[in-house]
Structure 1
Amino acid sequence: MRTLTHLHFRTPIPYNTASRLQEHLVSRFLAHKRSPTAIPAPPPSIITAEFHPVYTSGRRDVGAVSATQQAYLRASGRASFVEALRGGQTTFHGPGQLVAYPILDLRAHKLTPRSYVCLLEKALIATCKRYGIEAMTTENTGVWTTPDDKIAAVGVHMRRNVTSHGVGLNVSTDLWWFERIVACGLEGKRTTSFEREGVKGVGVDEVGRVFVEEVVGRLEGVEGWVRRDAEEVMEELGIGEGEGDACTTLWLEESTTPRGGDSELHLYESLPG
Structure 2
Amino acid sequence: MPAERWRPSAAPEAVLEAAWLGRVPYDAAWALQRQLLAARQEGRCPDTLLLLEHPPVYTCGRSTAPGQLVTPPSALPAPVYEVDRGGGVTFHGPGQVVAYLVMDLRAWRPDVHAYLRALEEVALRVLARYGLRGQRIEGLTGVWLGGEKVAAIGVKVSRWCTMHGLSLNVAVDAGWYRPIVPCGIVGRGVTSLHRHLQPCPGLEEVALTIAQECGAVFGRDVRYRRASEKTALTGLPGQVLAAEHGHPRSGRP
Tell me if TM exceeds 0.5.
yes
Say whether residues 1:31 and 2:31 are aligned partners. no
Corresponding residue pairs, total: 230
Distance 1:141 1:236, change over 3 A: closer
Say whether residues 1:13 and 2:24 are aligned partners. yes
Measure the CA separation in 2 of the matches of 1:186 and 1:3.
36
Q: Deviation digits for residues 219-250 of structure 1, max 9, x if unmatched?
A: 23x334232537535997353324359xxxxx
Say whether residues 1:22 and 2:33 are aligned partners. yes
Percent identity between matched residues is 34
For the Cα contact (< 8 Å) 2:157–2:163, is it kept in 1?
Answer: yes
For the Cα contact (< 8 Å) 1:20–1:239, is it kept in 2?
Answer: no
Measure the CA separation in 2 of the matches of 1:110 and 1:95.
33
Following superposition, the deviation at residue 71 of structure 1 comes to 3.9
Q: CA RMSD in A?
A: 2.9
Letter in 2 for 1:26: L
Gaps of 5+ in 2: 1-12, 248-253
Moved more, 110-119 or 225-234: 225-234
Instruction: Give TM-score scaled by structure 2 length.
Output: 0.79
Q: Deviation digits for residues 19-74 of structure 1, max 9, x if unmatched?
A: 12211211112223xxxxxxxx52211001111111233455588899x7234323
Measure the CA separation in 2 of the matches of 1:87 and 1:244.
23
Moved more, 227-236 or 107-116: 227-236
The match for 1:226 is: 224
Measure the CA separation in 2 of the matches of 1:154 and 1:62.
17
For the Cα contact (< 8 Å) 1:6–1:45, is it kept in 2?
Answer: yes
1:1-273 matches, cutoff 5 A: 1-10=13-22, 12-32=23-43, 42-59=45-62, 69-74=72-77, 79-139=78-138, 140-146=140-146, 148-220=147-219, 222-229=220-227, 232=231, 237=237, 239-240=239-240, 241-243=243-245
For the Cα contact (< 8 Å) 2:86–2:155, is it kept in 1?
Answer: no
Gaps of 5+ in 1: 33-40, 246-273
SS in structure 2 opposite 1:213?
helix
For the Cα contact (< 8 Å) 2:98–2:168, is it kept in 1?
Answer: yes
Distance 1:174 1:84, change over 3 A: same
The match for 1:36 is: none
Distance 1:91 1:116, change over 3 A: closer
Letter in 2 for 1:182: V
Distance 1:85 1:243, change over 3 A: farther
